């Protein structure tokens, strides 16, 4: 199959919508990462998503909406906190897990009684969903296990020849996937940390928000996707947080095939083949660059600011496993 990469002109978006309505799957930009979208009620198209990504069938998909009324077409009942959260954070990098309607295919939710709903903050995504007229289920548009794509060429590297179209909306501004918050139970629980923090959610809700136990233990994760190795470049990823550790590692590592991700100046980093800043927006792009440049070791220096960023720390930890 030929894969077209198109600028998101009205014609290209119309073409993407036509393909989706014909049961194809296409890649589109969001503010977090690129998504691989199918019409939510088209079981055969959703099956293609799992096939193309090599995604385990027990990992549910997120439904992307462009207007709030679309949530009513897929959710059984929306708890009161839903509107409080959507007022504050939609459109934006937050996915809300709620009870799903029976009409939502089981393949979309991996047989769970719930569905994650998110309104991406990206005009191309809105126009595409509007043109299709239905919510789009979309996982990140990468091969399962690889870092999520934050540019159209990342998507092409993984899925070239396997999907008909990639809408090129440039680089994603957030760079890590949405915060996944379960509001189907009495206490809102973060299943996947992201750009929207626990504190922000608690401020708006005026009640405690939990982190899922499974984020810090070996229990079965409630967000099935969190149990898989993720975001992982081919290189081995190591974290350090002291200058001593840095000194030792730079003596024992082959710096010619090593990448250093750091926000503080560490002499003598000039010996490393690549030295890049560490942040949410560029982490996955740095991992992918490491793969392209045959980097064997990625050393990540965890400074105090980074430690406080739970979403970023989660992606780094997943890559070190």
Please identify, using beta-carbon distances, which residue of 5 and 266 lies nearer to ligand TXA. 5
Using rule CB under 6 A, residue 114 touches ligand TXA: yes
Q: Determine the interface stretch with ligand TXA among 1-9, 106-114, 237-245, 270-278 (rule: CB under 6 A).
A: 106-114
Burial 262-297 (b: 16+ CB within 10 A, else e): beeebeebeebbbbbebbbbbbbbbbbebbeeebeb
Cβ atoms of residues 142 and 55 within 8 Å: no
Count of residues touching ligand TXA (by CB under 6 A): 31
Using rule CB under 6 A, residue 155 touches ligand TXA: no
Select the residue interacting with ligand TXA from 39, 66, 70, 140 (CB under 6 A): 140
CB of 98 to ligand TXA, least distance (A): 8
Please identify, using beta-carbon distances, which residue of 115 and 295 lies nearer to ligand TXA. 115
Please identify, using beta-carbon distances, which residue of 8 and 116 lies nearer to ligand TXA. 116
The Cα 91–Cα 121 span in angstroms is: 5
CB of 234 to ligand TXA, least distance (A): 20
Q: Which residues, listed in sequence order, are joined to residue 236 by a DSSP beta bridge?
A: 297
Neighbours of 168 (CB within 10 A): 20
Select the residue interacting with ligand TXA from 15, 42, 46, 60 (CB under 6 A): 60
Q: Tell me which residue of 29, 30, 26 sits closest to 15, measured CA to CA.
A: 26
131-170: which residues touch Mg ion (CB under 5 A)?
A: 139-140
The Cα 173–Cα 30 span in angstroms is: 9
CB of 21 to ligand TXA, least distance (A): 20
Q: Which residues, listed in sequence order, are joined to residue 179 by a DSSP beta bridge?
A: 94
Residue 257: partners with Cβ closer than 8 Å, 6 or more residues away: 273, 294, 295, 296, 297
The residue at minimum Cβ distance from Mg ion is 140
Q: Tell me which residue of 285, 319, 6 sits closest to 171, measured CA to CA.
A: 285
Please identify, using beta-carbon distances, which residue of 19 and 33 lies nearer to ligand TXA. 33
Q: What is the 3-state secondary structure (H, E, C) of 59-101?
A: CCCEEECCCCHHHHCCECCCCHHHHHHHHHHCCCCEEEEEEEC
Select the residue interacting with ligand TXA from 97, 107, 201, 298 (CB under 6 A): 97
177-216: which residues touch ligand TXA (CB under 6 A)?
A: 177-178, 180, 191-192
CB of 232 to ligand TXA, least distance (A): 14
Residues that bind Mg ion (CB under 5 A): 139-140
């Amino acid at each position: 199959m030929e894969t077209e990469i198109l600028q998101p002109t009205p014609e290209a978006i119309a073409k993407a919508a036509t393909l989706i309505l014909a049961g194809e799957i296409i890649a589109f930009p969001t503010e977090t990462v690129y998504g691989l979208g199918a019409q939510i009620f088209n079981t055969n198209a959703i099956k293609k998503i799992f096939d193309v990504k090599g995604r385990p069938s027990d990992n549910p998909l997120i439904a992307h909406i462009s207007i709030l009324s679309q949530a009513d077409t897929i959710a059984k009942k929306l708890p009161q906190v839903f509107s409080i959260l959507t007022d504050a954070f939609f459109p934006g990098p937050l996915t809300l897990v709620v009870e799903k309607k029976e009409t939502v295919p089981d393949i979309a939710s991996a047989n769970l009684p719930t569905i994650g709903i998110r309104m991406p903050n990206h005009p191309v995504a809105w126009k595409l969903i509007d043109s299709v007229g239905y919510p789009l289920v979309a996982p990140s548009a990468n091969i399962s296990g690889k870092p999520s794509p934050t540019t159209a060429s990342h998507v092409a590297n993984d899925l070239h020849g396997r999907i008909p179209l990639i809408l090129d909306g440039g680089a994603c501004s957030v760079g890590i996937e949405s915060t996944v918050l379960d509001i189907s139970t009495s206490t809102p629980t973060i299943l996947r940390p992201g750009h929207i923090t626990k504190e922000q959610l608690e401020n708006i809700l005026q009640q405690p928000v939990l982190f899922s136990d499974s984020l810090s233990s070996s229990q079965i994760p409630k967000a099935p996707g969190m149990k898989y190795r993720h975001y992982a470049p081919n290189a081995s990823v190591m974290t350090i947080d002291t200058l001593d550790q840095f000194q030792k590692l730079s003596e024992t590592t082959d710096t010619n095939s090593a990448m250093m991700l750091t926000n503080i100046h560490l002499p003598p980093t000039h010996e490393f083949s690549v030295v890049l800043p560490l942040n949410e927006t560029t982490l996955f792009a740095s991992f992918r660059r490491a793969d392209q440049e045959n980097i064997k070791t990625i050393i990540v220096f965890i400074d105090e600011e980074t430690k406080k960023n739970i979403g970023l720390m989660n992606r780094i930890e997943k890559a070190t496993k």
